[in-house]
Amino acid sequence: MTESFIAAVVQAASLPADPLASAHKAAALIREAAGRDARLIVFPEAFIGGYPKGASFGTPVGMRRPEGREDFRRYHEAAIDLGGPEVTALAEATGETGAFVVIGVIERDGGTVYCTALFFDGAKGLVAKHRKLMPTGAERLIWGFGDGSTLPVLDTPLGRIGAVICWENYMPMMRMAMYDQGITLYCAPTADDRDAWAGSMRHVALEGRCFVLSACQHITRAAYPVDFDCALGDDPATVLLRGGSMIVAPLGDVIAGPDFSGETILYAAIDPAEVVRGKYDFDVTGHYARPDVFNLTVDVRAKRAVSQVGLPAGKE
């Protein structure tokens, strides 16, 4: 069984209009956390590419204003390609430190952007991604929808690591799909900074008998461009996301956070044996399941808009 280790959740502000600067900041924070012996490091939702808190993208019902289209163009420009320099900077930091990192990014794929969690495994670099299945509310105006092909739970020396982003955590079947894969280190990058979020994270830990690591940005209006369209106003001191990052043990005990004080890194000792101890009396996809009554089917096929079948004439 894996020995106890240190995990960290990073509560920091990104640079929403500068993805490469955000990646370099993340790399510095990876090195800082690893310097304090953290072997698993979790960053917030949309840390690279930016969470556009308060923006409307010029879209009243039935209308798309020209300035909103320009806002989207700039947001698309600030998203990242997975072969780009931002991923290289993160891979270098994880390769140097040997840390396993889960980080939220805005991923660009053609004309669409996705809210994505990337998984970096030490010297292996980028090993997997999860695209958010269900953007919440107005997020649906700007983010594409993930599919079942990016729901990984990765087997690592630290445990089985997966990620569920923000309000995906309120999708019972999504959680069940994670539990069924034996997740022990349940990462929850989020932009939800409400007091009630802590209760949700404790529930997930208790339900899944897993460690939950939730990371949210602490960011002010000053981090965004002056002309950023923000319904919360333009006072640079206005806090747009106030943190609340935390780590929870498998019986629902909070072992770090929630913290609302500002930018910080939270640390906690993770004892993998606690997962099995917790499942003694509750294993939601094992001895506590009732497959004779309830059954979940998960479609993990990639869903593409265009599929090419066969070869063009003369190419056989």
Residue 132 CB: number of other CB atoms within 10 A? 27
Q: How many residues does the chain have?
A: 316
87: region left, alpha or beta (phi > 0 left; psi from -120 to 50 alpha): alpha
Instruction: Judge whether 96 counts as a catalytic residue.
Output: no
CB-based burial of residue 198 (10 Å sphere; 0-12 exposed, 13-18 middle, 19+ buried)?
A: middle
- Strand-pairing partners, residue 101, are 41, 120
Catalytic residue among 115, 166, 210, 216: 166
| Cα separation values, 7 from 19, 77, 110, 120, Å | 25, 33, 35, 15
For residue 56, give every residue at least 6 positions away whose Cβ sits within 8 Å of its Cβ, in sequence order, or none.
68, 138, 229, 231
Give the count of alpha carbons within 13 A of 29, CB side only.
27
Catalytic residue among 45, 107, 168, 207: 45
Distance CA 139, CA 56 (A): 9
DSSP secondary structure string for all residues of 166-190: GGGGG-HHHHHHHHHTT-SEEEEEE
Catalytic residue among 25, 53, 132, 279: 132
- The answer to whether 107 touches 123, Cβ cutoff 8 Å, is no
Instruction: Judge whether 210 counts as a catalytic residue.
Output: no
> Which residues are designated catalytic?
45, 132, 166
